Structure 1
């Protein structure tokens, strides 16, 4: 399975992003409002970083930087690792595991298409295995597939 299939399954919605000059507090409010763990950081149409709850915990709270006094550009992860819509799930999992990321932006050239999370990948893998098990059960019991 490829990343594009995951993007197609996700609800079609706007790409959630903030600018580097957004206050950390506002970014945290957006994360909470949308029940997500990370936001893309964009300057116009250009992807410049990712801001996550983890970034705030590690580069903010633990370093004594408070959300109302800090900006996303000071805590975001940059440069950003990205994947293409044609990337395989296995490739994404390898990047996430090796780099300790939970989110990967999906880009086609310079155009940002969305973002996938480790949860998106796990759900996709689980769905594949459930389909395989169902097919095998049907085969074993003699039901048509």
Structure 2
């Protein structure tokens, strides 16, 4: 089975972060510039939260707050689940589906090493299934 580490090897190593005191506007600008749906919130090298498009919509827009005046810390998700690089992607996909989130930080001994999205995991599962189908077809045809 494919692990998170396998996925990270095929992904860009860029991890986009913001500080908790930055404005939500600046975080959204980064997300728009990088075409991403979430950024990790780091404080002194420590993961303290995650800001997603969902956080913005539910905690800022619906409450009629200003993104230029609101710090990230006020709207970020503070309790962030994370996984280790050795975890298998299907288990991570189940976790994300069960808890209803789309981004999962990857930590290795308290060090941030990556971020995977539900799309990354789905691609990995599909690649695994395609490989298995190819192997079975070769076995059946004797090639």
Q: Which category describes the TM-score, using the shorter chain as reference length?
A: over 0.9
For structure 2, the 5+ residue unaligned runs are none
Q: Distance in 2 between matches of 1:139 and 1:110?
A: 43
User: Which residue pairs with 2:123 in the alignment?
Assistant: 123
User: Which residue pairs with 2:67 in the alignment?
Assistant: 67
Residues 1:2 and 2:6 are matched in the alignment:
no
User: Which residue pairs with 2:76 in the alignment?
Assistant: 76
User: What value does the CA root-mean-square deviation take over the aligned residues?
Assistant: 1.2
Deviations 1:78-127 (A, max 9, x none): 12111111112122122211211101110012110011110000000011
Matched residue SS, 1:63:
coil
TM-score under structure 2 normalisation? 0.93
Q: Distance in 1 between matches of 2:51 and 2:75?
A: 7
Matches within 5 A, 1:1-145: 1-13=2-14, 15-143=15-143
Q: How many residues align?
A: 142
- Runs of 4+ aligned structure 1 residues displaced above 6 Å come to none
Matched residue SS, 2:30:
helix
Q: What's the offset of the Cα at 1:31?
A: 0.6
Q: Distance in 2 between matches of 1:92 and 1:63?
A: 32
Q: Distance in 2 between matches of 1:142 and 1:92?
A: 35
TM-score under structure 1 normalisation? 0.92
